[in-house]
Structure 1
Amino acid sequence: MVKLALGSVQFGTNYGVSNSYGQPNTQEITEILALAHHNNINVIDTAIAYGDSEQVLGELADITNRFEIITKLPPLNKEQFSPADCAYYLELLDLSYQKLQTNRLSGLLFHSADDILKDGNNELLQGIFSLKKSKKLAKSGVSLYSQGKYSKLLNAPLVDLVQIPYNCFDTFFSSSGYLHKFKERNIEVHARSSFLQGLLLMELQDIPEYFLPWLDKLTLFSQVASEFSLSNLELALSYVVKEKNIDKLVIGVNNAKELEQVIQAYHNAHKVEHDQLPDLSCLEQKLVNPAHWQLD
């Protein structure tokens, strides 16, 4: 079974530190989707916050209806939900179904994990539960970030799917034991940020100045790739596919050629002797969490 899932943030925005292509056009997206389907990639990850990604996917519903689609609710920038907030979020969710031109979602995530635990959200949670009960929604859960404390989420209602960052540098969810705990509770785990927005795939001379304090780590990554006779892409994927508790690996591409390269690298990554890979873990959030990057 292919564990790759197709991220769609590129379909709605100019995304990624290494993205020199810009937002792909409809023809390019169609080619990406066709190639993904042909290679048994059956999950598309999107979000309300991803520009017009949902709208773009909906306009290609004759193709995207062959996929399982996961979307995300935007963060609530308040300490608790009001009845009006709940009603608004349910309207956003209904609009997502309309934009995507679908009657069923494979997954719904809170972009901010705290929102599923906030006071006042009962009406929203009940609405999500009703969608699951009526088979319009298969799974629900949260998108997580490294270094958080997520014990309360392990037994929270409606959490049977989580999305986490995971790559050679950011192994927090494995080292902290959360990955094991998720699997103990039959929570499906999807990993994102395996290429650190493309940073791990860049030539060292092209790396933005912001990352120079970690040039030694990025250089070591490239050296390990050479030692194992792997491309940076293959090595980046190797660190994720070796983690058995990850169910899906969400990757984003700008064109079909990139996806073809990822698919080939994904299969090559399974041939690596994973127990021989050195530990490259890094706890510095200014490197591993793109939310902290200062590139301007």
Structure 2
Amino acid sequence: MPNQIMPSEAGTDLLSKLTLGTVQLGIPYGIHNRSGMPSEESSFELLQLAWEGGVTSYDTAAAYGESESLLGRFFHGKQSLVTTKIHLRPEPGATGTEIERAMRERVESSLERLQLSSVPILMLHNTDVMETFGGPITASFEALKRDGLIAKAGISVSQNTPDEYRSLWPYLQNDTYEAVQLPMNVLDHRPLRNGCVSMLAEAGKTVFVRSLFLQGLLYMKDEDLPPRLGAAQEPLAKLRALSEKYGVSLPQLAVSFIRDLDGVNSLVIGAETKDQVRDNIALVEGPSIPEAMREEIAVAFADVPEQVITPIMWK
């Protein structure tokens, strides 16, 4: 596999194989988060370490608290690939003009926080609105591109549910959307099974994959699992057994399984500490897993309970 610091051949300019997720820098995040949100000084040190390690791609959103503003201050004068996301909640019966106005307002606010004149990649954060407003939202993305406020448009898949893919499928194939972010990991193979990843690859989309560690769930011991996640004990035990059987660390297993899939361009992995940044860079540059292990994973985790692999159901 190519070294992480090199841009992805199939992706956008400045797209590194590791995209640093920055939600942790803007709000406390993750079921396994023990350190909380880092200070601005610590965040800048973390970003500097990632930058010096060849990470040129960063993921944020308007909903991530101080994340956009933090990135704007750090990257002022630097050339990086920033993906940000906007949340839309149109009123019933909203017109295309009203939707475009709302999207422009949100983009202009993000541009101010990011200290940019154009967003490299802008994604829709809440996909549920596409069922009713997909047409005018798509037209508005095109208008934002024509006016130079964004370079590329994208969609961030939320939950991987059949209903969500049913409503999104026409838009995921639409040429307007050149980038897609989706959750996928060693326990959650839904975008593989439903053909989404192969379809996106064939369409030439830039594919970001997040939730590789299921917000830290993959690291949790049985005694640390909250009662509502008792169903995770069996798949986590299987995962640990496979790690031991093949002598591959669980983090490397989780990263390599997704990294080496055809059609995956960049892995969105967050960090709260500099050590985590170093670890993530090493993991993305790490070895592939044996093919026999990949085949066992496909069988062992083909039907993990939905309440385990869908974080919104943990609440």
Question: What's the TM-score once normalised by structure 2's chain length?
Answer: 0.85
Q: Report if the CA contact (8 A) 1:154-1:185 is conserved.
A: no
What displacement does 1:283 show?
4.6
Q: Counterparts in 2 of 1:186-265, with a 5 A limit? A: 186-265=204-283
SS in 1 for 2:63: coil
- Two-structure CA RMSD over aligned residues (Å): 2.2
Distance change >3 Å, CA 132–CA 193, structure 1 → 2: same
Which of these residues, 71, 80, 87, is aligned with residue 67 of structure 1? 80
What displacement does 1:58 show?
1.7
- Could you report, residue by residue, the CA deviation over 1:11-43 in whole angstroms, capped at 9, with x for unpaired residues? 111000000111111122112211211222111
CA distance in 2 between counterparts of 1:24 and 1:274 reads 39
Residue type of the partner of 1:281? A
Q: Counterparts in 2 of 1:62-141, with a 5 A limit? A: 62=76, 65-76=78-89, 78=91, 81-82=94-95, 83-116=97-130, 118-119=132-133, 122=136, 125-141=138-154
Distance change >3 Å, CA 28–CA 143, structure 1 → 2: same
Q: Report if the CA contact (8 A) 2:188-2:309 is conserved.
A: yes
What displacement does 1:114 show?
4.3
Quote the residue 2:179 is aligned against: 161
Quote the residue 2:288 is aligned against: 271
What displacement does 1:77 show?
6.1
Q: Report if the CA contact (8 A) 1:7-1:250 is conserved.
A: yes
Which of these residues, 120, 123, 143, is aligned with residue 156 of structure 2? 143
CA distance in 2 between counterparts of 1:92 and 1:20 reads 32
Stretch deviating more after TM superposition (246-255 or 284-293): 284-293
Percent same amino acid among aligned pairs? 25
Distance change >3 Å, CA 80–CA 67, structure 1 → 2: farther
Q: Report if the CA contact (8 A) 1:46-1:70 is conserved.
A: yes
Question: What's the TM-score once normalised by structure 1's chain length?
Answer: 0.90
CA distance in 2 between counterparts of 1:131 and 1:241 reads 31
CA distance in 2 between counterparts of 1:56 and 1:45 reads 12
What displacement does 1:75 show?
3.6
SS in 2 for 1:107: strand
SS in 2 for 1:211: helix
Q: Report if the CA contact (8 A) 1:74-1:110 is conserved.
A: yes
CA distance in 1 between counterparts of 2:251 and 2:93 reads 41
Quote the residue 1:21 is aligned against: 35
The count of aligned residue pairs is 291
Quote the residue 1:292 is aligned against: 313
What displacement does 1:59 show?
2.4
Stretch deviating more after TM superposition (166-175 or 128-137): 128-137
